[in-house]
Structure formats: structure tokens, C-alpha cells
Structure 1
Amino acid sequence: MKRIIQSLILSSCLSLTLGCSALGKSDSFTFVPDFPPDFKYELTATYKPAKGQTCTVPGGKGTQLGFNKVYMEYEATSEIPLYRTVSGCPLAFSHMKIKITGIFGPVLSDRSSDYAAIDVRSEQLGRYKGTFNAAGVGEFSGECQWFFRTVGPERYLIKILYCKNTDAQGNVTRIRPLTTYTLDQLPGKTVKLKISLNHEEEPYKGDTWVKVPDGWKRCMGKGFEDQHAFCYGNHKDFSTFRMVDERICTIYPGCTENKEENP
């Protein structure tokens, strides 16, 4: 993958008159994830005509680069080129969408994702202004949290991931993790996204679970066919549910039941 990216950078440098020097770190920046266990990432970098350019790319085709997509070999870090040329149009890095994926089970469907972003601005965005230390490393951070629910007539428990930005004091904000830079800040630098995990899981939908000392109990509703199964004040009738390993449980996450079949 790195050879492919370097080839793209070299092609861009040969075609541009934007001050590209010899192929190297000055033509790119490095993205480094600092994630909890069982978390992965993929990236989509977006490019737009470089400053002073009036050209366009027909249909916008080729203005994005993907990293760690499902058809690619997974890489722990990614080198992001700052310049490209597509359809003869010189492009510059503009935005990067970071897909954060948490894995809670053994099969492909046992995962959920949320997003973070790196934006290039002509002027940086207030509290989301990115900076670099003396070693050329910039960091922004977020906190992710799992929300659980049940699906299907057997009430399999699944999880939904939500991630929010955290400020310099560690406070969780309302938006997804975000940082902004000017384009001339990025050459040769490293941008790290540090994600922490809130270990307090919560129900995805209100009035469907009841809090008990060991966790949460799932309200029965009208029966197992009732997919919403709101409690509606009935805190006596509860249902079992199935974990991803097929255990049948009555409390989440304090389930201690063994693997068995439904009675």
C-alpha cells in the first residue's frame, strides 16, 4: 500500500508546480490511531482543486483515496498524500473521514462504527484548532461508548457504537471527534487520534431495560415477537436474551448463565 501511495505522490509532484520537493515525508502526513483493543479504522481522504487552480474533475471521480478498506490489507498507520493530479487537475488534501469500528463478537456483523474527521481550513476552527509538539506530533481525542439492544424473535443482544469529541480537559462534547489544520501545517507531520472507551454501557432505546444491581433486565413487552417491547411501567415481567456466543441470559452485562438452549 505504501508503495502505491508513494507512486501517487510522485505522479502528483511531477505534474504540479506547487513546490513539491523530492518524494518523501514533506509530501504527506502520517495518521496514527491510538484505539482500545478490538477497535479498527478505515479512512477516506478527499481532495479538491489546489489553491489558485480553476480546473475541475469530471464527475468528481478520483477525488478520494481509501485506506484500510475491506478489500485492502490492514495497516496500523497510514501515510496520507497531500497532493494529487486527477484528469490533469492539481488537487490538494481537503478532508479526511475516519471510520472507527468496534468489534464485539466473532462474525462480521458483530461490529459497529462511528466517525471522526480531520479538516483543512484556510483558518483553523476555534476550539478544534490542531497544534503540533516539537516532535511534529499533533493529537486529538474522543470517547466512544457502547449502547446495547436486542433484535429478532430470539432477542440477540447487539451493540451500537457512538463516539464524541473530548476537549483538552477530557470533557465529552456534543460533536464527533474533530480537528482542523491549515494545509501548510501538515507536511511531514503525524496526526494521532486517541480514543478512550467509556466502560459504562447503556440501553440504546429508553424504557426497554430496567436497571438492577448486576446490570440491566430486558422488559418482556407483549412477548418475544414484540421487537420494541417497551416496559410501560411493568418492571416485573422480563425476557431472556441471547449473547453472541449463544448464551441465554437474564441480566446484561452481569450474565453468568452457561451456554444452553432456550427452554
Structure 2
Amino acid sequence: MSRRRWGVLLVLGVVVLSGCVGKPVDKVTLEVDLPPEFRFIASAHYLPATGENCSLPQRRGKRPERKIFVTQYKPVAERVSLDLPLAEVIEGCPTVLRSVGFDLRAKWGVRYADVGGDHAVIGIRDRWDVVSTVPEPGVQAVFGTCRWLFRTLGPYHAIRKILQCRSLDAYGEPRLAGGVAQRDQLAGKKLRMVLALSDEEQPYFDDNWVPVPGGWKRCKGKSLEDMDAFCRGNTTDFKPITMPDGRLCDVYPSCQ
């Protein structure tokens, strides 16, 4: 091959590479920081872009406008990373990423049924005036706190736990864990949802428990067989509870 032809090919190659470098990256790296023994099923939802007249058919089963991601329990805290297109043409319809929903699950005990769940969602907007937290360059973050709520169940008043995950909205009010980000600020960057687990547990129902040294006592209610057992001002009569390991105790969680 002549030197002239090599030179032409080299110039063309440089032009092609330059075009690739200049092309904007139309994706975001979604990161989720999970506490130990947490997992999730994430669902990224795509809808027609603003101004588009096309529509996506209603259907069951496999849906290209919804991308599903599944994680597994880990005994230690972990960061899960997913790459998501911010825009995608689906069946000829230009769509954009509108939201990512999370079905959260967490273990609170060793038995198969010792699992609680809640939901989280990150909305992706065309415009969002609230500035997201930037913990490091190239990263936008939303924060949520999860905690365990405890209650009793059944004739033996066995302890059960319910997972609750919340974030504060722009007005300081609690809402589902997650947040909102502006789409045109995400290309080539990271969007991170940080979930923390509180050490403090709280009763699931009001007026069922009385705080005491070492934890909480379960109100007796009308009788030991009263499974609702509201206190209704009686903070001296209590009933024993059954711990997850089968112990019969008077105070949760210290079992004093």
C-alpha cells in the first residue's frame, strides 16, 4: 500500500476518533449504597420524551421500556453500580428515563420469614430547581434512612419487625426514600442513593408500648389475650413478649 493511501486512512481514522470523543455520553451511572443484609429489585422506567407524539403499547410480560435489576443479600455494606441510558429509542419512539423504583428487602433475623420490605424511588425530571447534594465531583446524591419498627403478633405476642425507609423532601417533610434529579445534569456522571440503617428501633403502633430502662414494655390491654392491647393510660400493667429466638421476656429488646 502506498504512503499516500496510508496517509489518507490515518487522517480518516483521526477524524472518526475525534467524532467519537466529541459525542456526549447519554447515560448515567446509578449507584446505591446498601447496609448489610439489604437487597433490592430496581425497575428503570422509560416514557416518551417531552414533545414526542408517539406512545408505547400497554402490555404484560417483557417490556422494553422497563429495565429490571436484581441484587442479592450481602453480610456487609456494599455499593451497587448500574449503567442506565438517559434516552433510548424504543420501537421507533424516542423515550427518556423518567424514574427508577426500588423494591427494598432487608433481613432482621435468621429465620426465612425474618424479612421486612419498603420502597424507594428516584424521579428524573426535565427540569428540577432543587440542587442535589454533591458529595464529590461528578456525583449527585440523595439520602435515605431506614429503621426497624417492631410489633407483636399472635397469641404468644411474638416480636415481628417492619422496615421503614424515608427521605426528607425539599420542604423537610419525610417521604419515601429516594429523591429527584434533573436529566440534563446527569450525562456521564454518577447518581448515588445512599441508604443508612438507624440503630434506634421504634414501635410500629402508637399507644402499645411504654419506654422503660432497657427498651420497651408491651401494654397488657384488656387481658393477656388482647392482641391489640392499647395502653389507654394504663402504664403499669404489661404482658410478656416472645423474642425471635423463643425467649419469653418482659422488655424488648434487652429481655430484662
Is the shorter-chain TM-score for this pair beyond 0.5, marking a shared fold?
A: yes
Q: Which residue of 2 aligns with 1:67?
A: 69
Q: Which residue of 1 aligns with 2:6?
A: none
Q: Deviations over 1:95-124 (max 9, x none)?
A: 111233332012343222223322121210
Q: Which residue of 1 aligns with 2:81?
A: 77
Q: Which residue of 2 aligns with 1:50?
A: 49
**Pairing of 1:6-45 with structure 2 (within 5 A):** 26-45=25-44
Give the Cα separation in 1 of the matches to 2:239 and 2:24: 57
Instruction: For residue 201 of structure 2, give the secondary structure of its aligned residue in structure 1.
Output: strand
Q: Deviations over 1:27-48 (max 9, x none)?
A: 4322222232222232111110
Q: Which residue of 2 aligns with 1:3?
A: none
Mark the CA change 1:174 to 1:131 in structure 2 (over 3 Å): closer, same or farther. closer
Give the Cα separation in 1 of the matches to 2:211 and 2:243: 18
Q: Deviations over 1:199-241 (max 9, x none)?
A: 2211111111111111101122234542211122333332222
Instruction: For residue 184 of structure 2, give the secondary structure of its aligned residue in structure 1.
Output: helix
Mark the CA change 1:84 to 1:108 in structure 2 (over 3 Å): closer, same or farther. farther
TM-score, normalising length from structure 1?
0.74
**Pairing of 1:205-216 with structure 2 (within 5 A):** 205-216=205-216
Q: Deviations over 1:40-69 (max 9, x none)?
A: 232111110124421111116523222117
Give the Cα separation in 2 of the matches to 1:208 and 1:134: 44
Q: Which residue of 2 aligns with 1:101?
A: 105
Give the Cα separation in 2 of the matches to 1:134 and 1:195: 17
Mark the CA change 1:55 to 1:69 in structure 2 (over 3 Å): closer, same or farther. farther
Give the Cα separation in 2 of the matches to 1:135 and 1:26: 17
2:188 counterpart letter in structure 1: G
What is the alpha-carbon root mean square deviation over aligned residues? Answer: 3.0
Task: Please state which structure has a larger fraction of its residues in strand.
Answer: 2
In the TM superposition, structure 1's runs of 4+ consecutive aligned residues that sit over 4 Å from their partners are 131-134
Q: Which residue of 2 aligns with 1:158?
A: 160
TM-score, normalising length from structure 2?
0.76
Mark the CA change 1:181 to 1:251 in structure 2 (over 3 Å): closer, same or farther. same
**8 Å Cα contact 2:169-2:175 kept in structure 1:** no
Give the Cα separation in 2 of the matches to 1:197 and 1:218: 24
Q: Which residue of 2 aligns with 1:144?
A: 146
Give the Cα separation in 2 of the matches to 1:130 and 1:110: 35
**8 Å Cα contact 2:134-2:140 kept in structure 1:** yes
Give the Cα separation in 2 of the matches to 1:111 and 1:230: 26
Mark the CA change 1:36 to 1:75 in structure 2 (over 3 Å): closer, same or farther. closer
Gaps of 5+ in 2: 1-19, 73-77
Give the Cα separation in 2 of the matches to 1:245 and 1:255: 11
Give the Cα separation in 1 of the matches to 2:95 and 2:71: 22
Give the Cα separation in 1 of the matches to 2:179 and 2:110: 33
1:96 counterpart letter in structure 2: V
1:57 counterpart letter in structure 2: L
Give the Cα separation in 2 of the matches to 1:172 and 1:37: 27
Give the stretch that moved more between structures: 80-89 or 245-254: 80-89
Give the Cα separation in 1 of the matches to 2:245 and 2:25: 48
- Counting matched residue pairs gives 228
**8 Å Cα contact 2:127-2:183 kept in structure 1:** no
Q: Which residue of 1 aligns with 2:190?
A: 190
**8 Å Cα contact 1:144-1:195 kept in structure 2:** yes
Give the Cα separation in 2 of the matches to 1:46 and 1:35: 21
Q: Which residue of 2 aligns with 1:227?
A: 227
Instruction: For residue 184 of structure 1, give the secondary structure of its aligned residue in structure 2.
Output: helix
TM-superposed CA distance for 1:172, in Å, is 6.4
Gaps of 5+ in 1: 1-20, 257-263
